[in-house]
Amino acid sequence: MMSKIIGLGNYIPSQTITSLFFDQYHFLDENGQPLQQDNATIADKLKEITGIEERRYAEKDQVTSDLGFLAAQAAIEDSGIDPETLDYIIFAHNFGDVRYGTVQSDTVPSLASRVKHLLKIKNNFCVAYDVLFGCPGWIEGVIQANAFIKSGIAKRCLVIGAETLSRVVDIHDRDSMIYADGAGAAILEFSSDESGIKSHISGSFTLKEQDYLYFGKSYNNDNSSDIRYIKMKGRKVYEFALINVPNAMKKCFDDSGYTIDQLDKIIIHQANEKMDEAIISRFYRLYKTPVPENIMPMVIRKLGNSSVATVPTLLTMIKRGELPQHSIKKGDIVLFASVGAGMNINAFVYKF
């Protein structure tokens, strides 16, 4: 018994943010000192390292649960189901609803509850709850939905990943240029055929690594020390990912029973183009085989890093035929993987 995806949807905000948006920002280092390079050079260097040219921001009147609702609506429409038949709504995010121009995170009621309300679901026994698991949150939600379905607790689940990272960035930190907003969602149900989740793995590395991504004060020492923003120890995250993610991916893939030549596509969290390429290279090196052409689709150049939304957004785009150089057909074997705050890693192997 396993679960399969029967519907996909995403919401990509319409507001495109280029590097010119940051031209007037006053970037500082962690000690509050001005960076030596001008902003154009900083933006070019960031593009060289991460691949990010543009990112999308939500409209001022939107919050994370609004984006999640729009993605959920699209997934429900794609699946053709009656939303009243959903047993679970699992919403992966990290910062709740943060209204434009404010700094307070709002998570009561849960974002999943808000989406259920917006969907006008009357079924009281459709359970709605949130998952906070860093960027791997959507994949973890899928793994949880799979467990519910395999155990017989649920027949059908909606898993959403949405974030508005533009609301929690320090405008004096150049890393603010990495982050973006967006949402993706999937409907899973019991599979009676060979398609579905074949294996999965999750891990939390917390002994020494828990603070590689964290909430910290602004680099501008004149700002309130009580207000916190998303912060990243970039080099630590990069090194951690390259050491640990390929091994986790290999364990997950080996557990699926497939051989490396049967793997058709890898959909990995869009965090950093160079880092993701290095992870894939190391993954294939573990099998002593070259990286196949077109194995890893990337959209980070135009969409930036929207945390939990990157994987379901990318999958939806591929299935809709929006990436001409990539496709997923029936019978294809796809490895999903993510890494993020926690530090958390997860992956699952899926047969379409």
Q: Do residue 60 and residue 178 come from a single domain?
A: yes
Q: Do residue 121 and residue 209 come from a single domain?
A: no
Q: Do residue 154 and residue 243 come from a single domain?
A: no
Give yes or no for a contact between 300 and 270, defined as CB atoms under 8 angstroms apart: yes
Last residue of a domain, one of 170, 194, 218: 194
Q: Do residue 145 and residue 268 come from a single domain?
A: no
In which residue are the tokens 């434009």 written? Answer: 100
Q: Do residue 160 and residue 214 come from a single domain?
A: no
Q: Do residue 315 and residue 224 come from a single domain?
A: yes
CATH of the domain at 21: 3.40.47.10
pTM recorded for the entire structure: 0.94
Give the per-residue pLDDT at 327.
95
pLDDT in tens, 247-306: 999 999 999 999 999 999 999 999 999 999 999 999 999 999 999 999 999 999 999 999
Domain that holds residue 178: 2-194
pLDDT in tens, 58-84: 999 999 999 999 999 999 999 999 999
Q: Do residue 42 and residue 172 come from a single domain?
A: yes
Q: Do residue 80 and residue 148 come from a single domain?
A: yes
Q: Do residue 217 and residue 202 come from a single domain?
A: yes
Tokens matching residue 228: 């916190």
Last residue of a domain, one of 138, 163, 194: 194
Say how many domains are in the chain: 2
pLDDT band at 96 (very low <50, low <70, confident <90, very high): very high
Q: Do residue 224 and residue 190 come from a single domain?
A: no
CB-neighbour burial class of residue 224 (10 A; exposed 0-12, middle 13-18, buried 19+): exposed
DSSP 148-194: HHHHTS-SEEEEEEEEEGGGS--TTSGGGGTB-EEEEEEEEEEESSS
Q: Do residue 149 and residue 223 come from a single domain?
A: no
Last residue of a domain, one of 194, 210, 226: 194
Segment (H or E) for 248: helix 234-256
Q: Do residue 153 and residue 229 come from a single domain?
A: no
pLDDT band at 36 (very low <50, low <70, confident <90, very high): confident
